[in-house]
Structure 1
Amino acid sequence: MLEHEYTLLGGVSRLKIGRYLALVSATVSGFIVFVLLSSVDVAQRFGIAASLPPSILSFVGAGTVFTALSWILNRYAWRWKIINSLLQIPDLAGKWICTGTTMATDSNPPFDWSGEIIVIQTWDRIRVRLKTATSASNSRSAALIKDEADGWRLFYSYRNEPNIDQPELSAHRGFSEILFDPGLNTGSGEYFNGHGRYTFGTMSLERV
């Protein structure tokens, strides 16, 4: 799995969310246990032989409920409109059409390029993959910062690997900064390459 953790600045602290999850888990677990014990008591009043094995009580314990709620939040619930508005995490997952321009330098002429960016994202992990006709790159680290004036900024480092039929290109590392509009439908940014290919340029994104 190539997804990695990312830093969130401007949203709700994940530590604080963990505390809330623990409180909710304890409440939900206590309610489930109460319902189960009440059901057994009612059954016995009607002369129905019923018992509740300890394994059932342990299965609905706070730890199990916390694990289940954490998984649901991480995979699905963080995208739900109400919860997402509370967590303040931009949902960038999906496909983006990317067009870019590499700026001219003393050793490299300017040129335009295009590709597709796929963002895989959960509540605590992300992966930014850019695929062009000549190479592909994957993010190695990332941070999301809320810009109150302009929207969300994504900062990420990446490693680029050229296609096998591109011997003139070198594998390299780079860094990119992208500013997304408040509606998360478009983005614009810059990139800087090094450690193998010393180029830089601009890029524009549009959600598919």
Structure 2
Amino acid sequence: MSTPLTLHRHAAADARALLDEAVAVHQEIYAGQGVPYFSADRFRDRLAVALRQPEFELVAACDQDRITGYLYGFALPRWTRWWTPFAGVLPAELTRETGDRTVFIQEIMVRAPWRGRGIARRLHDEFLAARAEQRGLICVEPGNEPARSAYLRWGWRPLGSTTFDPAGPVFDCLVKTLAPGEQGCP
């Protein structure tokens, strides 16, 4: 009989202690892709930047003391450049940030032996349940059909596509209204 999974929330200060393990999980999931964007060093850099963002939080699913998966995200600050690729494409009101309007889920990962058990959904729901932002933003590679389909079932709606690195993959961006009355979500 397996031990029930537990979820643990970590603010940036606590999550820094999980950096090496988070990178190891990422590498296990993206091993063999050969895409520089997914290398351990590039991921470590992205996570280090995320840890410095406002309202950063990481939710980890654990089987005893082993991380089986995690999700992390943060509030887009008022001065964010996140929407720059969408300038002139999306209405200005949609891309306006206040510092507490949008939470960006940067990563959701579940290790292979624990997939298909609803862990990603539990991480997603746990993370969003404690957020105060009006809407969520998440990105997924178009070819990652299991994740993309799950996000659509969970209430996310397509917004557009972008890349975060000229040599990196294209991502579909999706939004989800989290607060009643949020305007500007398609």
TM-score, length-scaled by structure 1: 0.22
Which structure has the larger Rg? 1
TM-score by length of 2: 0.24
Of Structure 1 and Structure 2, the greater helix share is in 2
